[in-house]
Amino acid sequence: MSIAAKDVKALREKTGVGVLDCKKALEETKGDMDKAVVLLREQGLADAKKRANRETRNGRLELYSHGDGRVGVMVEVNCETDFVARTDGFREFAHEIALQIAASAPQWVHEEDVPEEVIKAEREIAHKRALGEGKPEKVIDRIIEGRLTKFLDETCLMRQEYIRDDSKTVTDLLNNVIVSTGENVTLRRFKRWEIGEELA
């Protein structure tokens, strides 16, 4: 089957994947654009998992000031090569992550970063709240897990909904960059400051 160049271009714009991979995906799906997008995402996520152990010693520090200097963010985003670190797509990704942090004020990058005592305290709060609301004992454990999940979704950067598209998480955004760059990309650390906040 012959694939039109305009279809390859459209698929590339939708996914950020290379021309040859887009052409191959369209050939495999007999020109079905939606199926080709799904196929590329599946392949990309599989490739992303393979890259997860590769070292990321290059990257950039993105600095962002919001609200006329009322909120400041610094985030370190890493990749494998200096070449990728200098691309517009990588810079744009780092900027989007800084915007996300400014808007959504996460406390940790990953769920694994949350201290055990914080998890324990959140469980206790959820338990007391459920009892105070008169919930039946048999559903309290489910309620606690649901509230803990919500807490982690709100406070862990990688689990947050992307501010520009709530059908995606920050993890989805990261995976898209891994697919489009062909490199392992990691969010190492961030710091967010806000005028008037209490000093630790």
Report the alpha-carbon distance of residue 141 to residue 153 in Å, rounded: 18
200, part of any domain: no
Q: Both 167 and 82 in a single domain?
A: yes
pLDDT digits (tens, 9 = 90+) for 125-134: 999 888 888 8
78, part of any domain: yes
Q: Both 63 and 105 in a single domain?
A: yes
Report the alpha-carbon distance of residue 114 to residue 56 in Å, rounded: 23
CATH number reported for the structural domain that contains residue 121 in this entry = 1.10.286.20
CA-based nearest residue to 109, from 146, 152, 46, 162? 152
151, part of any domain: yes
Q: Both 96 and 161 in a single domain?
A: yes
Residue 12: partners with Cβ closer than 8 Å, 6 or more residues away: 18, 19, 22
Query: What residues pair up with 20 in beta bridges, in sequence order?
Result: none
Residue 113: partners with Cβ closer than 8 Å, 6 or more residues away: 156
pLDDT digits (tens, 9 = 90+) for 94-115: 999 999 999 999 999 999 999 9
Is pLDDT at 46 greater than 60 in this prediction?
no
Please give the model's pTM, rounded to 2 decimal places. Answer: 0.72
199, part of any domain: no
Count up the domains in the chain and report the number: 3
49 band by pLDDT with thresholds 50, 70 and 90: low
Q: Both 121 and 89 in a single domain?
A: no
Is pLDDT at 200 greater than 70 in this prediction?
no
Q: Both 102 and 173 in a single domain?
A: yes
Q: Both 96 and 128 in a single domain?
A: no
Residue linked to tokens 């799904």 = 38
43, part of any domain: yes
* Average pLDDT over every residue of 50-65: 85
83, part of any domain: yes
Which range of residues forms the domain containing residue 16? 5-51
